[in-house]
Amino acid sequence: MPMDTDQPVLELSRVRRYFVLVTVVVASGAYNAATFTATAILPQMQGAMAATQDEIAWTITFNILATAVCTPMTGWLVSRFGRGNVQFWSLTAFSISTLMCGLSQSLEALVFWRAMQGATGAPLLPLGQTILLDIFPRRQHGMVISVFGIANTFGPVIGPTLAGHLAEYYSWRWGYYMILPIAVAATIASRVAVPRERPAGATPLDWTGFVTLSLAIAAMQLLLSRGQRLDWFESNEILIEAFVAALAFYLFIAHSMTHKAPFLSPGLVKDRNYAIGIFLIVIFGMLNFTPMVLLPPLLQNQLGFPDGLIGYVVSWRGMGVMFGFFSAMFTALLGIKTGMVLGFGIQIVSGIWLSSIDFNVSLLTLCINAFLQGLAVGLIWTPITTSAFWTLDPSLRAEGVAVFHLMRNIGSSFFISVSVAEVVRATGGNYSRMMEFLSPFNRTLSLPSAMGEWTVDSLTGVAVLAREVNRQATFIGYLNAFWMYTVVSAIAIPLVLMVRRPKA
């Protein structure tokens, strides 16, 4: 069977294979950088567009929505138009959308082009991975997935950092302009390097499956993006989105099980390794970006770190990622499960360590912990991806990779929302409980040895003390979120042990 051979699906010369690898890595790096750039320049965009915080947040929300809706279409696009054509035209449209984001003069235009940026760039990640798996023999899959993973991880780190500096010294528009030359270069290279095979033909699109899946994904992403802002199920909007997501997903499953040619093939979940890989990639997505979202506000607001030191801590995570991907090539020699177990084990250690820090935590401790997080990401990504597609029929790779990346994004969105919600919940609850001790009936407050420089003799003193209580209550919320991070890491290990190596 094709899945049991080491031969690549597409035969290319050695030089051209590596040219395609560089092209795909650059394209995916540009897309990842663009996806997260808006987070760094959000305040500048808000001021330039005279928008409220809720209004400017739509530039993030609509980009995520468009990406989530269009990612599952990758398989159909490849079968209809071919890998090379989809790669080229996706990069072309992505480059134009990125340019228009920088040229936008109104909030409406910026939101529209951000949505177009997400929609046109959505096929780049799953398609890029599919191309690499098809042109390289299986014995080299671990290596190319490691290189591809570096681009996927470094884009979200380098992009926002560089965009923030450019926005500070020039304008927020340069956060998009800086991506344009890279995207154009990748577009030209893809036209030359990526093979343009004959498409399978006029494959019909299962519109019922596509529409119901798109509705389910869009409603769920809206729920996760706006739930915290709208107080979750206290809001009618969130209730409606939850109902639409549940109903649309039910209709999609029912339709897919009964239709002759569904939008996504049920054969995907029939493959044991791929089904386990889907659960593992959801967990990986939950753990990958959550620390990057939680740590900067914690370091800045609760620990008083300047922006420069926060960037320094994040850079250690980047170094850990690079070392992890390099190490994954050697852990693969010990078995595919070894790298994943080691990676998730390091996640557990870093989570427990991070859950035990206090206000006196040192910069070195935070840097080493960030390095461990990055190391775990590098060790986990390659074996998860390789094992998920070990036994999957090559004909199902395009839509399989699309679903793979979709579930990673959903896992990230879900766990980030849950973690932020836990910080807010714990802050309110702990603040109320801790403030109960600040009363005239607490004799400890009259002891100078216990109060130190704090005072409750004036309104100013009480206000300062209340701010300190809020700071400590919020800190407890972050520690709770890090404990959740640790528990999720531990859940992954039993799933790893269920992965089977294919029979040669």
**Residues whose CB falls within 8 Å of the CB of residue 487, separated by 6 or more in sequence, listed in order:** none
Measured between its terminal Cα atoms, the distance across the chain in Å is: 11
Q: Which residue has the tokens 């802002």?
A: 229
Q: Which helix (H) or strand (E) holds 458?
A: none
What are the pLDDT tens digits along the chain (504 aa)? 344 455 666 677 788 888 888 888 888 888 888 877 776 677 778 788 887 766 777 787 778 778 877 888 887 788 788 888 888 999 999 999 999 998 988 888 998 999 899 889 888 888 888 888 888 887 777 778 777 877 776 776 777 777 777 877 888 888 889 999 999 999 999 888 887 776 655 567 778 888 888 888 888 877 877 777 777 788 898 899 899 999 999 998 888 888 877 877 777 778 888 888 889 998 998 888 788 778 877 887 788 877 667 767 777 887 888 888 888 878 877 877 888 999 999 999 999 999 998 888 888 999 899 899 989 988 888 888 888 887 787 777 777 877 887 788 778 777 877 888 888 888 888 888 887 777 666 777 666 655 656 666 667 777 777 888 888 898 999 999 999 999 999 999 999 888 876 554
Distance CA 479, CA 366 (A): 14
**Where do runs of H (alpha helix) occur along 289-396?**
290-297, 307-331, 336-355, 363-388
Question: Under DSSP, is residue 498 helix (H, G, I), strand (E, B) or coil?
Answer: coil
Contacts of 42 (CB under 8 A, 6+ apart): 56, 57, 59, 60
Name 384's Cβ contacts closer than 8 Å, sequence gap at least 6.
Answer: 277, 280, 281, 284, 340
Q: Could you give the CA distance from residue 285 to residue 406 in angstroms, rounded to a whole number? A: 10
Spatial neighbors of 458 by CB under 8 A, at least 6 apart, are none
207: its two tokens: 């519109």
Helix, strand, coil distribution of the chain in percent, nearest 5: 80, 0, 20
What span, in angstroms and rounded, lies between the C-alpha atoms of 120 and 181? Answer: 17
DSSP per position, 247-269? HHHHHHHHHHHH-SS-SS-THHH
| CA pseudo-torsion sign 474, 475, 476, 477 | positive
- If we measure between CA atoms, which residue out of 29, 172, 44, 168 comes closest to residue 94? 29
Please report the pLDDT score of residue 91 as a whole number. 93
- Residue 55 has, within 13 A of its CA and on its CB side, a CA count of 13
Closest CA to 481 of 367, 379, 355: 355
Alpha carbon separation from 53 to 60, 117, 234 (Å, rounded)? 11, 21, 20
Classify residue 235 as exposed, middle or buried by CB count within 10 Å of its CB (0-12, 13-18, 19+). Answer: middle
CA atoms within 13 A on the CB side of 453: 2
- From CA 10, how far away is CA 137, in angstroms rounded? 9
Helix 83-103 to helix 74-81 angle (10° resolution) is: 120
Distances (CA, A) of 376 to 14, 125, 329, 485: 31, 21, 14, 13
